A and B are shown apart, each in its own frame.
Chain A
């Protein structure tokens, strides 16, 4: 069951106990599209070059990349962000699409990306689904810049 999987995974993952510098927090706080949790993650990521970030928050990623006052933060984290769309697209190559779809729809039935990408029609037509996922990743890459997302291998 999805809840049990989430509970188990969350229990195995320690809580982040770092905080970014006050200067960085202040800069990120000034963007209304970046909530405090995402600001914390962006700030820690910017100050620790061996870290990666996995996020579903497309809105905050776009804000980070489009806000001139945050260009230094964007530059610091570019190449180290893993988006939901790119994870799903990459794993669609290596996992059974039906299983991926079932899992995603169970845990996020009202997520617009999940609902539209993994509709019954799309799952029944894997090539269309992969094409749609490619389109999602391409659109996001165009919005964020070609250097921004971490290339999953």
Chain B
């Protein structure tokens, strides 16, 4: 690393973001509330530059609001939500 490097430790803002990794709770919260689009805009990236983790579908079924039960049981290929732990 050059001594002239203006930030030899950590970038405060990345010049180029490769991926935005997003945890399950953040994906549910931001996408469901409508904040995901503005967040991605503020970072200058789009959804194709995000990565979610493979357990998302399972967590989604745990986290979604109670009024989505109809969709879960009728509108998808997911199994019945017998393990839902809606709080």
A residues neighboring B (CB under 8 Å):
2-3, 5-6, 8-10, 12-16, 37-38, 40-41, 44-45, 48, 50-57, 78-80, 82, 84, 87-88, 90-91, 94-95, 99-100, 103-104, 106-111, 114, 147, 150-153
Contacts and interface: CB of A to CB of B under 8 A. Distances in A.
B45 to A, nearest CB: 9
A13 B47 contact: yes
A91 B30 CA distance: 11
Contact of A88 (B11, B19, B35, B57): B35
Interface of B: 10-14, 16-36, 38-39, 42-43, 47-48, 50-57, 60, 64-65, 67-68, 71, 87
Nearest to B52: A13
A6 B31 contact: yes
B74 to A, nearest CB: 12
A152 to B, nearest CB: 6
Contacts of B12: 79, 151
A107 B35 CA distance: 11
A78 to B, nearest CB: 6
9 contacts: A6-B28, A12-B47, A14-B50, A53-B22, A55-B22, A56-B29, A94-B38, A95-B38, A107-B29
Contacts of B53: 15-16, 37, 40-41
Nearest to A148: B10
B26 A10 contact: no
A108 B11 CA distance: 32
B28 A107 contact: yes
A96 to B, nearest CB: 10
A45 B48 CA distance: 17
Given A15-B53, A110-B87, A10 B33 contact: no
B14 A55 contact: no
A51 B53 CA distance: 14
A3 B57 CA distance: 12
**When A and B form their complex, which 10 residue pairs have the shortest distance between CB atoms, in order from nearest?**
A107-B32, A103-B33, A9-B31, A56-B25, A2-B32, A50-B18, A16-B51, A12-B47, A79-B10, A3-B68
